[in-house]
A and B are shown apart, each in its own frame.
Chain A
Amino acid sequence: MLRALSRALAAQQSLLALPQLVQQQAAPAAALAAAALAAASSSWRQRLPSAWRPYSAAAEKSGETISVTFKDEKDGSEKVVQAPLGKSLLEVAHENGVELEGACEGSLACSTCHVIVEDQEFYDKLPEADDDENDMLDLAFGLTDTSRLGCQIIASKDLDGLVVRIPSATRNMAVDGFRPKPH
């Protein structure tokens, strides 16, 4: 009876997303092996396979940089840094001591590097977020209309002067599901 009621479905996975998926699946084995072998002193970030870095090495070699401002809502601090063309904001943050989390190391499997682009004009200049990024943004804390993942914003010339906010998790906000006790 259930069968009679039911109806079959089609795959609707975008073909465009495939190369990325393949890349993501190939990487973890290498990362885990690297993690196991790495000495305690080396930073895990430096061990990221280069395949994960979505930037163009050629652009980086040009040595050109743009100015990017990180505003941390947690403590109100502001940091202006020079971002080499081609690098992601997540990388730029980490290279400059800006506290932006990156739990999945830029592999589009978490939303911890969520940033809010302050200026709509800059937001509109960014290439549109794809399904994979939107899937993660859906789970981001304090999502806004100009939210993006830091690992997906790549420094380019037209982004010079970009200002992003790192949303504060706790500032006057309760964590999901938390309800204060009545007393």
Chain B
Amino acid sequence: MLPRLGGALLRPLAARSFAAAAAAASGGPHFCIVGSGPAGFYTADKLLKKFGDGARVDIVEALPTPFGLVRSGVAPDHADTKNVINQFTQLARDPRLAFLGNVRVGRDVSLPELRAHYNAVVLCYGAESDRRLGVPGEDLPGVFSAREFVWWYNGHPAYRDLPLDLSRTRRVAIAGLGNVAVDCARVLLKQADDLAGTDICSHAVEQLRNSAVQEVHLLGRRGPVQAAFTPKELRELLSLEGVQVHMNPEDFQLSSACEAEMKATRMKKRVYEILQKAMAGPPRQGAKSLFIHFLRTPAEVVEVEGRVGQMRIEKTRLEPNEKGGDQKARGTGEYETIPADLVLKSIGFKSVGIPGVAFDKRRGVISNKLGQVYAEGGESFDPGLYVCGWLKRGPSGIIGTNLVDAEQTVDTMTQTQDSFRRVEAATPGAAGLRQLLESRGVQVVSFLGWERVDAEEVRRGAALGKPRDKLTDVQEMLQLAAAA
């Protein structure tokens, strides 16, 4: 951040052995970041500050559009959360940084090819898959991951045609009690007019206007103390206009273990207070209903006429974890059934590995120590390869968490810079990479190209009374980006 002011202060700290040597030879280290979400941009920011004027940072992004989950994840009615885009945009205009959009590693260029152009590569491509429920019927038509639903309403090009018909959807079951589940519930229950003025996709507004959704059921395996949503999101959900809220008072009888867990963290205490206050208050009026089912786990998605029709859920109880740590939910053998025309699985994103890079399957992250990537199958490190963001620590935390995370990865890079690789390619960095991509017919979208797309989105949005109307077709984006 603050490229001009901050940079001047921090640069004296930066140049150390490698950077100094490299600066003398080739003008400083060349870094490549894979992925342009918050982890990618914060890493770029920290790298430029640490390694000074001679450093070059290129950000490679699979989509023509930058900013990752700030664009495709953050809820459309949380516009302020997206203000960070201004800061990233300022950073992208730094002459030491290049954005290469529409370049997917593994499709357009292999990771070894990419690495040949750089002294070090930082993988920040996040989590593009989902954890599975592991229950029968999970793959029936009408069952989606919350990620897919969010990417649909936020206009991710790969999900704009999600086979969804809200005009035939009366009841929705959402498995999970985190902020993503809350976002999905809110979008489904909120008045369409209240969303129409946001940057939500027009195709989503159209469906929401014709939505038949009457009930949304949120399901959490554990109790009100263990729910992962945060106070702001919860308060917002519980005060939606025209929405009744239903919870089971029995779920609020806390064991001493839960009591202790709740009192240990300030946030849990506040979340619990909000829930309790809501339970105690007078009933809310409205045509739509939100049900929050604690201590219930999905047991089966039941088929009715070839698609999801019901969700069978099992009651759970909390038991101490023998291995220590959080209490675990265990099934009680008592089942209930709730009708559901649409099921959203919101039990966590999952990262996907990349061939040739050590991947910790259990945790779903790239095997690393403080951001330095382990060699495959080895105890040593893969020189010049680093990781940051969800791919490094798992899919949790907020945008700001990546700031902390990037600081850690870049600290590690500073300490291990003597192990950076020599650039093998004849032309290092973005210039060489562009040559290679052009020879393959890949249209690389520069930041200027994105800004053309951006301007068009803002222009179209203005006509509709929205901050922007997102483009969702990659070909259309590429045409706009290329226009002189």
Q: Which residues from chain A sit less than 8 Å from chain B, CB to CB?
A: 1-3, 5-13, 24-25, 27-29, 31-33, 35-36, 40, 43-44, 74-75, 94, 97, 99, 101-105, 107-112, 131-132, 134-136, 138-141, 143, 168-170, 174-178, 180-181, 183
Contact = CB atoms under 8 A, between A and B. Distances in A.
Contacts of B392: 175, 178
11 contacts: A2-B248, A3-B246, A11-B239, A28-B79, A29-B79, A29-B466, A43-B4, A44-B87, A101-B1, A109-B83, A181-B369
Interface stretch (B29-37, B60-68, B316-324, B404-412): B404-412
A116 to B, nearest CB: 15
Given A9-B281, A11-B238, A175-B404, A107 B398 contact: no
A80 B107 CA distance: 52
Interface stretch (B7-15, B123-131, B134-142): B7-15
B369 A105 contact: no
Contact of A170 (B231, B248, B367, B404): B404
A7 B248 contact: yes
A12 B246 contact: no
A181 B377 CA distance: 13
Contact of B278 (A9, A99, A131, A175): A9
Nearest to B236: A13
Interface stretch (B160-168, B266-274, B302-310, B438-446): B266-274
B284 A11 contact: yes
Given A12-B278, A35-B89, A132-B232, A138 B2 contact: no
Size class of B's contact patch?
35 or more
Interface string B393-430: 11011111101110110010000000000000000000
Given A25-B79, A94-B2, A105-B83, A8 B245 contact: yes
B195 to A, nearest CB: 12
Interface in B235-256: 235, 238-239, 244-250
Nearest to B86: A44
Contact of B281 (A11, A32, A102, A135): A11
B1 A99 contact: yes
Interface string B214-248: 00000000000000001110010011000011111
A104 B81 contact: yes
B324 to A, nearest CB: 13
Nearest to A40: B93
B248 A112 contact: no
Nearest to A14: B235
Given A9-B247, A11-B238, A36-B454, A110 B81 contact: yes
A10 B282 contact: yes
Given A5-B248, A10-B278, A177-B396, 9 more contacts: A2-B338, A6-B291, A7-B246, A9-B283, A11-B284, A44-B87, A94-B2, A99-B10, A175-B392
A1 B2 contact: no
Given A7-B279, A11-B284, A103 B401 contact: no
A138 B231 contact: yes
Contacts of B397: 176-177
Contacts of B277: 12
Contact of A135 (B13, B231, B462, B468): B231
A33 B398 CA distance: 25
A89 to B, nearest CB: 15
B239 A12 contact: yes
Contacts of B280: 10
A47 to B, nearest CB: 8
B8 A97 contact: yes
Contacts of A75: 13
Nearest to A106: B83
B105 interface: no
Interface string B352-380: 00000000000000010110001000010
B158 interface: no
Given A10-B282, A94-B5, A32 B458 contact: yes
B394 A177 contact: yes
B404 A169 contact: yes
Given A9-B247, A12-B274, A175 B9 contact: no
Given A9-B283, A109-B80, A169-B407, A33 B90 contact: no
Name the residue among A2, A35, A134, A143 with the largest chain B CB count within 10 angstroms. A2
Given A108-B80, A177-B393, A170 B411 contact: yes
Q: Which 3 A-B pairs have the closest CB atoms?
A: A10-B281, A8-B283, A6-B246
A134 B456 CA distance: 38
A121 B375 CA distance: 52
B86 A7 contact: no
Nearest to B84: A103
Contacts of A12: 235, 238-239, 274, 277-278, 281
Name the residue among A9, A10, A31, A139 with the largest chain B CB count within 10 angstroms. A9
Nearest to A1: B336
Contacts of A103: 83-84, 87, 399-400, 403
A9 B230 contact: no
Contacts of B394: 177
A7 B231 contact: no
Contact of A141 (B2, B246, B248, B404): B404
Nearest to B408: A170
